[in-house]
């Protein structure tokens, strides 16, 4: 089979398409999936650049995928599946290839409503969104949710999760979500992210009758941390999943304990393919009934031009980029 590979870290030029042995499922503990579509995530780009921990070389990158089971347990033969995982593309070969081997415990049926391309761009964004908003912060229907980075992949997923749970959703970003994106129809209000953190916090307070947001999901982190903290209500929960621009943040500890703030770190890399598949099974009904929608796919590449997909992402292409082997 053909696969996109890298044997050293660097920019997308280190990627090359090569022939590798066809995978074979071992016993009944593995399945082989013919990959129909695989998205390229920012973490894939960071992985190739050597900015992610735990990657062993040489490696086929790619976390998210959708496809058809072609080898493995008989009951799964021909079933359309989707998946992701913090091990896929890092400690085990990833989805930017014609075939992918995963544990049978990671098999998850693809929503019938979604095409292969649409299903392949869900994984990382919605799994970490669910992990932070539902499992960590325990967002409730009567609460308010402020989403930093709402125009991005994770932010757009979190906004939809908040809307489905019945929360009041406030989107925060430098650029307002485009009208044709799911995030645009999932937020109740939008706050432009400027240079003054206190101004952002004041706008969130105004939109929540002076209370502040019960949950702030910061899908950016680092440069946005002061504004995120300023936006919290008393007893508010701050979800942190990344750090842009700086790894450190100055926090007024007196304000922190007076506000009884809780800061919750969430790392989707800690979830392997099987643990991620269990979350996708929880998400599937929302997609099947149309409550959740993936971000639009704006870039499609064949495997032979897989490097081009990485370059497009590095150049800031809006929307989702997929490789279709």
How many CB atoms neighbour CB 304 within 10 A?
A: 12
Res 194: pLDDT: 85
Q: Is residue 134 part of a domain?
A: yes
Say if pTM beats, i.e. exceeds, 0.85.
yes
Both 143 and 175 in a single domain?
A: yes
Neighbouring C-alpha atoms within 13 Å toward the C-beta of 49: 11
Res 197: pLDDT: 87
Both 218 and 105 in a single domain?
A: no
Confidence of residue 26 (pLDDT cuts 50, 70, 90): confident
Torsions phi, psi of 141, nearest 5?
Answer: -60, -35
Q: Would you say residue 155 has pLDDT above 90?
A: yes
CA-based torsion, 242, 245, 247, 249: positive or negative: negative
The CATH number of whichever domain residue 30 belongs to comes to 3.90.180.10
> What is the total count of domains within the chain?
2
Res 231: pLDDT: 98
Cα–Cα distance between 269 and 248 in angstroms, integer? 21
pLDDT one-digit tens code per residue, 213-227: 999 999 999 999 999
**Residue 177 and residue 156 in contact, taking contact as beta carbons nearer than 8 Å:** yes
Res 316: pLDDT: 87
Q: Is residue 88 part of a domain?
A: yes
Res 322: pLDDT: 98
Both 97 and 13 in a single domain?
A: yes
Res 22: pLDDT: 95
Q: How far is CA 183 from CA 54, 247, 249, 293, in A?
A: 32, 27, 28, 9
Res 4: pLDDT: 98
Q: Is residue 283 part of a domain?
A: no
Mean pLDDT of 48-71: 97
Both 261 and 314 in a single domain?
A: no
Q: Is residue 286 part of a domain?
A: no
Both 40 and 158 in a single domain?
A: no
Res 59: pLDDT: 98
Both 100 and 223 in a single domain?
A: no
Both 141 and 264 in a single domain?
A: yes
Place of tokens 């992918």: 100
Res 195: pLDDT: 79
pLDDT one-digit tens code per residue, 93-135: 999 999 999 999 999 999 999 999 999 999 999 999 999 999 9
Domain enclosing residue 111, as ranges? 2-122+294-324
Average pLDDT, the chain: 96
Mean pLDDT of 64-86: 97
Q: Is residue 275 part of a domain?
A: no
Both 67 and 150 in a single domain?
A: no
Q: Is residue 148 part of a domain?
A: yes
Last residue of a domain, one of 268, 283, 304: 268
């Amino acid at each position: 089979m053909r696969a996109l590979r890298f044997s050293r870290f660097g920019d997308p030029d280190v990627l090359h398409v090569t022939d590798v042995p066809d995978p074979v499922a071992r016993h009944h503990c593995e399945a082989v999936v013919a990959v129909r579509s695989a998205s390229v995530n920012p973490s894939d780009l960071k992985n190739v650049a050597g900015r992610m921990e735990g990657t062993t070389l040489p490696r086929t990158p790619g976390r998210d995928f959708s496809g058809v089971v072609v080898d493995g347990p008989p009951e799964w033969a021909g079933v359309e599946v989707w998946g992701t995982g913090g091990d896929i593309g890092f400690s085990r070969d990833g989805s930017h290839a014609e075939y992918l081997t995963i544990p049978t415990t990671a098999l998850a049926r693809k929503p019938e409503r979604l095409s292969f391309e649409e299903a392949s761009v869900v994984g990382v964004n919605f799994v970490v969104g669910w992990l932070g908003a539902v499992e960590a912060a325990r967002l409730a229907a009567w609460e308010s949710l402020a989403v930093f980075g709402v125009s991005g992949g994770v932010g757009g997923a979190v906004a939809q999760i908040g809307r489905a749970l019945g929360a009041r959703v406030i989107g925060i970003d430098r650029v307002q979500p485009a009208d044709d994106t799911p995030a645009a129809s999932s937020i109740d209000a939008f706050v432009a992210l400027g240079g003054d953190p206190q101004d952002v916090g004041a706008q969130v307070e105004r939109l929540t009758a002076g209370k502040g947001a019960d949950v702030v999901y910061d899908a950016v982190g680092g440069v946005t941390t002061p504004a995120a903290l300023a936006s919290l209500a008393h007893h508010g929960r701050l979800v942190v999943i990344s750090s842009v621009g700086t790894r450190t943040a100055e926090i007024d500890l007196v304000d922190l304990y007076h506000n009884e703030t809780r800061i919750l770190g969430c790392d989707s890399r800690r979830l392997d393919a099987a643990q991620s598949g269990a979350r996708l099974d929880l998400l599937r009904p929302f997609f099947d009934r149309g409550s959740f929608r993936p971000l639009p796919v704006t870039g499609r590449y064949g495997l032979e031009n897989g490097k081009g997909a990485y370059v497009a992402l590095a150049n800031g292409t809006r929307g989702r980029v997929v490789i279709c082997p």
